[in-house]
Amino acid sequence: MKPSLVLKMGQQLTMTPQLQQAIRLLQLSTLDLQQEIQEALESNPMLERQEDGDDFDNSDPMADGAESAAPQPQIAEDSHTQDTPTVDNLEEGNWGERIPNELPVDTAWEDIYQTSASSLPSSDDEEWDFTTRTSTGESLQSHLLWQLNLAPMSDKDRLIATTLIDCINNDGYLEETLEEVTESFDPELDIELDEVEMVLHRIQQFEPAGIGARDLRECLLLQLRQLPTNTPWLSEAQRVVADYLEVLGSRDYPQLLRRLKLKEDELKQIIELIQRLNPRPGSQIESSEPEYVVPDVIVRKHNDRWLVELNQEAMPRLRVNPQYASFVKRADSSADNTFMRNQLQEARWFIKSLQSRNETLMKVATQIVEHQRGFLDYGEEAMKPLVLHDIAEAVGMHESTISRVTTQKYMHTPRGIYELKYFFSSHVSTSEGGECSSTAIRAIIKKLVAAENAKKPLSDSKIAGLLEAQGIQVARRTVAKYRESLGIAPSSERKRLM
């Protein structure tokens, strides 16, 4: 092929590093954002936190770090928004022109560098508990091994017990058969199946009750055997679990009444005793670390109006270090001065990206509250249909931007803490030509199931008929889908003996 020059015309979207940084910060959760800010503070000497009580010159927002401060609370009824830079127009504004090159030095050296150990209480403090601040959640295996160390046992039996404990899953059940456990030992140890079974019975006496069981029947029987002998209906409950557990699981109460020759009230008390048992005893030992949710937005009602504000504690305020910024010389092109100038510019862009994130989050949260005031006043049944396009059109942004803002961002309301995506839901038509959100339909289904007759629970078809009577047109399979998403069992499994 002969090489030649060809002139082509096309369009290409180019994202500047500043825009990429703003988009990346926008989609971070609060905890991830705090980690990102901490890394920026450690890598950029021009950045520092604005501590409470610091006195700044408010004449220029870029000089005092006001750009990372939370915007003032907004009233949900007021949909007017100021023309402030956001992620969608990051490339259009020249924000750097408003940043003064010389910043006032108003922070003492000792105010900047503080030892982190000063916040820790002394070792002789009565309220200081090191384990509560450093220990992790206890696993089921470590809990069982701790009890094993307290039990008098030979070295051979202790080896068997340790192996059995390793085969117990998080629910508390023995995953391997006794034959497989016996074959796993060295033949020279000469360990028999009877010895393994005997050690298993010792482990099954540990806490929590029911641990080390091989199936559900054995798990429930172990828990019943540890109850006081004078427990009412104990022997009958043991018989039901041992001989008629499948019949009980299928809720065939007439058959149980015939086989046990009991009255309905007596069988009800036996079932209540069995229902107090734990089918997953291992779940009582919490081994995972707690997951904390930090709300990004706080919504409160004041004078019958809903106010929206950012969580001040979750939004750290940053500023450019005025002392380091004053070292930057305009006409100096040395390597040190160039490095400091670049760090200063990066610090300014990072602060501005935080401001853009806060402003965008504030706008989106305000529009969500304005749209879902019915939910805040009356609950889930008053939730309105809402999609990303509605909010994007209201704030003048792209749907992808709204998707980033609402991902892993949480709103604290008087009704609880919800992810921003919770307020978005699809809709179904009503008989009057209106729309009803899927969240409201789920709430209605949950309310209907809670009020149903336990002897005759509502089927999916019956629930669909009740919804249709309220003007909501929902198919039976849609009701089944919503019911399953709520974790509600089918009507055959919800049947109770009254």
Give how far Cα 380 sits from Cα of 204, 277, 438, 463, Å.
Answer: 45, 33, 10, 18
- In whole numbers, what is the pLDDT of the chain averaged over residues? 79
Strands (DSSP E) contained in 231-380 are 297-302, 305-310, 318-320
Q: Is a pLDDT exceeding 60 seen at residue 455?
A: yes
> 224-238 pLDDT, tens per residue?
999 998 988 898 899
Q: What is the pLDDT of residue 60?
A: 41
Q: What is the pLDDT of residue 67?
A: 40
Q: What is the pLDDT of residue 112?
A: 39
Question: Which residues are 319's β-sheet partners?
Answer: 48
* Helix ranges (DSSP H) in 253-334: 253-260, 264-275, 322-325
Angle between helices 438-450 and 476-485 (to 10 degrees): 80
Instruction: Give the mean pLDDT of 286-312.
Output: 83
**Pairing mode, strands 410-413 and 305-310:** unpaired
Give the predicted TM-score (pTM) of the model: 0.61
Q: What is the pLDDT of residue 116?
A: 38
Q: Is a pLDDT exceeding 70 seen at residue 469?
A: yes
**Region(s) of the chain under CATH 1.10.10.60:** 426-498
Q: What is the pLDDT of residue 96?
A: 41
Domain 426-498 has CATH 3.30.420.40: no
**Pairing mode, strands 297-302 and 410-413:** parallel
Contacts of 197 (CB under 8 A, 6+ apart): 178
> 253-298 pLDDT, tens per residue?
888 888 888 888 888 889 889 989 999 998 888 656 667 788 989 9
DSSP annotation of 357 reads H
Contacts of 375 (CB under 8 A, 6+ apart): 382, 383, 384, 415, 423
53 pLDDT band (50/70/90 cuts)? Answer: low
Instruction: Give the mean pLDDT of 168-175.
Output: 90
Percent of the chain with pLDDT over 90: 12
Q: b or e along 161-200 (b: 16 or more beta carbons within 10 Å of the residue's beta carbon)?
A: bebbbebbeebbbbebebeebbeebeeeeebeeebbeebb
Q: What is the pLDDT of residue 1?
A: 66
Q: Is a pLDDT exceeding 70 seen at residue 413?
A: yes
Residue among 268, 265, 322, 235 nearest 55 (CA): 322
Q: Is a pLDDT exceeding 60 seen at residue 378?
A: yes
Token pair for residue 35?
Answer: 């980690």
135 pLDDT band (50/70/90 cuts)? Answer: very low
Instruction: Write the single-letter amino acid at 124.
Output: D
Q: Is a pLDDT exceeding 70 seen at residue 58?
A: no
Residue among 465, 474, 403, 399 nearest 436 (CA): 474
431 pLDDT band (50/70/90 cuts)? Answer: low
2-6, 196-200, 402-406: the lowest-pLDDT one: 2-6
Q: Is a pLDDT exceeding 50 seen at residue 115?
A: no
Q: What is the pLDDT of residue 77?
A: 52
**What is the sign of the dihedral through the CA atoms of 154, 156, 157 and 162?**
positive
> 325-343 pLDDT, tens per residue?
888 887 777 888 888 888 8
Bigger pLDDT: 103 vs 2: 2
Question: Which residues are 309's β-sheet partners?
Answer: 298
Q: Contacts for 328-337 with beta carbons within 8 Å, 24 or more apart?
A: 328/101, 330/101
Instruction: Give the mean pLDDT of 174-194.
Output: 87
Instruction: Give the mean pLDDT of 374-381.
Output: 88
